Amino acid sequence: MKNPVNSVPDVLRRIAGFIVLCLLAQGALSAQARVKVDSGLTGVRVDASQVVYADAATVWSTITDYNRLAAFIPDMVSSRLISAPGTPKRVEQIADAGLFAFIMPDRVVLAMEEVPTNNALRFRAIAGKVASMSGEWRIVGNASPVTLHYRAHVLPLTPLPPLVSEYFIESEVRTRFEAVGNEAERRMR
């Protein structure tokens, strides 16, 4: 017969494992995004990645849900597909970004290039309050979890004010980037 005292740690380990699985299922243990920002005279470069507990198809449908992005990305007022069916995709986005508007435009029209076979979504600004803006979303992996990457180069219309630090930009990008990952995980559940 097994000693009941020796079985207590086993029970506690099983309970702890069950709690971790429940938290993962609820998205509470989502990995924090890694965000790196370089800013200077040539603009702002952003490189971000995050492990997302969803499959590639779910993440893809989240980042290409242009008409609903404002529902889950903080400070985005609206996002809407403005191109006609069968033409290259154009998305208009309006944000209420406060100081972040010095870096990311508060209004922009993006030309979208979807490459689903490579799990890549490329974009570039074709209108709006920005000198230039281009970048890419990329999903690595197919089954959950996947890694979501985001890269962008933004050249604002005016030089960055001295009070806008790279730490501030990283924090703002992280908040929005993690919101996309959280939404994909919510959809996966």
Name the token pair of 71.
Answer: 């529902």
Taking residues 3-27, report their average pLDDT.
47
Distance CA 69, CA 77 (A): 9
The pLDDT, as a whole number, for residue 159 is: 77
Measured over the CA atoms of residue 80, residue 49, residue 59 and residue 71, the dihedral's sign is negative
Instruction: Please give the residue that has the higher pLDDT: either 148 or 1.
Output: 148
pLDDT in tens, 105-128: 788 999 999 999 999 999 999 999
> For strand 107-115 and strand 89-95, is the pairing parallel, antiparallel, or unpaired?
antiparallel
Extents of the domains making up the chain: 1-30, 32-188
Distance CA 151, CA 171 (A): 15
Q: For the whole model, what pTM was predicted?
A: 0.80
> Quick check: 5 pLDDT over 70?
no
Homologous superfamily of 32-188: START domain (3.30.530.20)
Amino acid 145 reads: P
| Average pLDDT of every residue of the chain | 84
> For strand 76-81 and strand 89-95, is the pairing parallel, antiparallel, or unpaired?
antiparallel
Highest averaged pLDDT of the listed ranges 11-15, 37-41, 75-79, 166-170: 75-79
